[in-house]
Amino acid sequence: MLNKLRKAIDEKGCAIGTFLGVSTPPIVEILGYTGMDFVIIDTEHGPYDTMPACDLIRAADGMGMSPIVRVAGVTHKEIQRAVDNGAEGIIIPCLRETEEFRKAVDLCKFPPVGNRGFLKARGSGFGNAEWAQGSLEEFMSRSNEKALLLPQCETMEALENIEEIVNIDGIDGIFIGPFDLSISMGIPGQFDAPQFRQAVARVLKACKDAGKLCMIFSTSVEAAKGYRQEGFDAVANSIDTLMFKKVYQDMMEEIRDWQPST
Ligand code: 3PY
Ligand code: MG
């Protein structure tokens, strides 16, 4: 199987990963020793241009983790560079109109599904990877398998049309952004509100019914466990920026508050 995220989901039921907002390649290598399945390189909010993102993709690949890139928008430059450089999943934020989801397919997938621009770039070992051999038709079809298109559902407009969106050919799954979705619904951060729970259940059901993947961001291990229980295919828990602070803060408090015996 060409895609490590899909392989992890097939083998484990639920893949577990995290967002990278400030990490460098050696940090990604350290994460690789935790057994993490994927990392999301956040070029929407993080300070990563194309080459640093490429270095993080390489580091994740080297540790057997699936490199997923959150791009900043549904534009040719954003999506083409991410897929060409070897992203195994493309997450696109803040989409509203169903037409924007169709445009994402057009940019991310080769014909006959979309109209991605052709080059055997880094993601295919510049055409030298074993899977990139064979006819051009085979290359395009395998490339479509390798790079999953996982646009976000995080606006009311997307939520209202989610059943139609998940059935668009070329969309491999949906990534729920709880913060933006709850803000868009007028209930910011109220993840336990019945209205919000119903929205999440609706997206999950739509994905399951259409045979598409459903992923979500969580901010605590308890929430992540809940999403696993509900049947999510993948959970991205927390962000490196938050985790660094938490781990070192816990360490500081424990050492500082401990009283040496006199
Ligand atoms: C959100 O919660 O809005 C996100 O995009 C998380 O990734
Ligand atoms: Mg968001």
pLDDT in tens, 74-102: 999 999 999 999 999 999 999 999 999 99
Sketch the domain layout of the chain as residue ranges. Answer: 4-257
DSSP state of 124: G
The span from the CA of 40 to the CA of 46, in Å, is 11
pLDDT digits (tens, 9 = 90+) for 138-161: 999 999 999 999 999 999 999 999
Q: What is the pLDDT of residues 158-197, one digit of tens each?
A: 999 999 999 999 999 999 999 999 999 999 999 999 999 9
Mean pLDDT to the nearest integer, 36-49: 97
CATH number, span 4-257: 3.20.20.60
Q: How far is CA 123 from CA 31, 54, 58, 139, in A?
A: 21, 10, 9, 12
Could you tell me the distance, in angstroms and rounded to a whole number, from the CA of residue 118 to the centre of ligand 1?
31
CB 100 less than 6 A from any atom of ligand 1? no
Residue 262: its pLDDT value, please? 86
Residue 54's Cβ-count burial label (10 Å; 0-12, 13-18, 19+) is: buried
Please state, in angstroms and rounded to a whole number, the distance separating the CA atoms of residues 150 and 171.
Answer: 7
152 Cα to the center of ligand 2, angstroms:
8
Closest CA to 5 of 46, 65, 69: 65
Does the C-beta of 154 come closer than 6 Å to ligand 1? yes
Atom of ligand 1 nearest to the CA of 70: 7
Paired tokens of 88 = 């195994």
Cross-strand bridge partners of residue 213? 173
Q: What separation, in Å, do the N-terminal and C-terminal C-alpha atoms of the chain show?
A: 61
Q: And the tokens for 69?
A: 């890139």
Mapping DSSP to helix (H, G, I), strand (E, B) and coil, where does residue 39 land? strand
